[in-house]
Every structure is written in C-alpha cells, then in structure tokens.
C-alpha cells in the first residue's frame, strides 16, 4: 500500500540566489498576495514564514526561509543547507550576472545540501520584458542541464508564484 503522508512534517524551504533577484518580494507575494516596490535588501533576519499548501487532500507545511545579507558573501551557511528539504533558486531575467551565478549556487547546493533536496529554478521579474537579458529558453536549458524544474515568475504581478510553491509542495509530497 502507498505510504501515508505525515501531515505533521514541516518542510524547510529556502530561497536562494543573488541579492536583488527578488527573493523577499517573492515570499511577500506568496504570503500576502502583494508587491511592495523598493528593495528589501537591507532587511536582515526576516527569518521564516510558515505556509500551508494544499496538495490533493493533504496540507503540506512549508517553513520558508528568506536569506538576506548573506548572499553577497556566499556564506549562506552550510548548516543552513543541510536540513533544507527544498530550495527555490532565483535569478533575475534582467540580470545576466545573477543568471551566470546560478552554476556557482548549484555547485554549493550539491556540495552542502542533502542529495534528495527538491530544487526549483526560477527566473524572476518576468514582467520586465523590456529589460530582459536572459531568454526563457536559456533558463530552460540550464534547468535541463541540472535536471531541475524551471519557471519564470513575477513577484510584482504574481504570475506563477503560487504555481512555483505548489510545484515544490507536490514534489515534497511525492518524495516523502
Ligand atoms: P532580494 O534581495 O533577492 O530579496 O530582492 P528584493 O525582493 O529585495 O527585490 C529587489 C528589487 O527588485 C526591489 O526593488 C524589488 O521591488 C524588485 N523586484 C523584485 N521582484 C520583482 C519582480 O518580479 N518584478 C519587478 N519588476 N521588480 C521586482
Ligand atoms: Mg531579500
């Protein structure tokens, strides 16, 4: 018989990626359904937000951690990765450097995270078509290379934000 999903499980989920890609904005959009223009980059120690995501008839509990300040030093501590169940890895579609840095983030993730960690690659700021520096197919190709799912999101318009977290929750449920 299929395993029974443990509804008490809390899945530690971490937002990672360069400073300015929109990690905090994505979490605010997911949590509160709004976009607050302006940078949150000075914010340190936001900690985590608990969210419940329904998948089938099961409530998947996500404890979502936002990283702030650590990004520019690449010192998101290794212990921090070690007990992560899921990682949402973001770049900004208007920033080539944030896209180029994804490989370095993935190297670090593969070094320090659990081998079965759920990873999803997100190209954020999809609303900024005029400033686009990275085509969608470049994101898709990189994701395919690392065998991770990919979506373009906008923390501003909310496009694909629910979908991204729901996809992570589904994958966590499948792997449990
Ligand atoms: P973080 O450093 O990764 O947490 O990024 P922030 O959430 O602080 O966002 C950095 C900047 O990008 C801020 O000025 C945000 O308002 C802006 N921003 C974040 N996400 C989006 C988005 O999806 N679209 C647009 N247009 N701007 C965004
Ligand atoms: Mg932030």
Cα R_g (the chain), whole angstroms: 15
Reported ipTM: the value is 0.99
- List Cβ neighbours of 125 (8 Å cut-off, separation of 6 or more): 21, 22, 92, 93, 94, 131, 154, 155, 156
Which pLDDT value is given to residue 46? 55
Q: Which of 15, 94, 155 to mutate to test the pocket of ligand 1 (most atoms within 8 A of CB)?
A: 155
Angstrom distances, CA of residue 31 to CA of 7, 26, 80, 93, 96: 20, 8, 22, 22, 28
Which pLDDT value is given to residue 67? 81
Q: Is 155 in the pocket of ligand 1 (CB under 6 A)?
A: yes
Q: Is 156 in the pocket of ligand 1 (CB under 6 A)?
A: yes
Which pLDDT value is given to residue 45? 47
CA of 29 to the centre of ligand 2 (A): 13
CA of 166 to the centre of ligand 2 (A): 21
Atom of ligand 1 nearest to the CA of 36: 16
Which pLDDT value is given to residue 144? 98
- Using CA atoms, how far apart are residues 51 and 62, in angstroms rounded to an integer? 5
Please give the average pLDDT of every successive group of 10 residues along the chain, which has 176 residues. Answer: 73 93 94 86 67 94 84 62 94 98 93 95 98 98 98 98 98 90
Which pLDDT value is given to residue 71? 56
Atom of ligand 1 nearest to the CA of 90: 3
The model carries a pTM of: 0.93
CB of 16 closer than 8 Å to CB of 76:
yes
């Amino acid at each position: 018989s299929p395993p029974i999903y443990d509804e008490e499980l809390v899945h530690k989920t971490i937002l990672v990626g360069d400073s300015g890609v929109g990690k905090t904005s994505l979490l605010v959009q997911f949590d509160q359904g709004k976009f607050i223009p302006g940078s949150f980059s000075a914010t340190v120690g936001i900690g985590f937000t608990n969210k419940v995501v329904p998948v089938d008839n099961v409530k998947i509990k996500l404890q979502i951690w936002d990283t702030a300040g650590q990004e520019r030093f690449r010192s998101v501590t290794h212990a921090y990765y070690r007990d992560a169940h899921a990682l949402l890895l973001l770049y900004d579609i208007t920033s080539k450097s944030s896209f180029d840095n994804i490989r370095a983030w993935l190297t670090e993730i593969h070094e320090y995270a659990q081998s079965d960690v759920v990873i999803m690659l997100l190209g954020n700021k999809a609303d900024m078509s005029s400033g686009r520096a990275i085509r969608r197919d470049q994101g898709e190709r990189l994701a395919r290379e690392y065998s991770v799912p990919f979506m373009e999101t906008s923390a501003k318009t909310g496009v694909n934000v629910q979908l991204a977290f729901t996809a992570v929750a589904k994958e966590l449920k499948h792997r449990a």
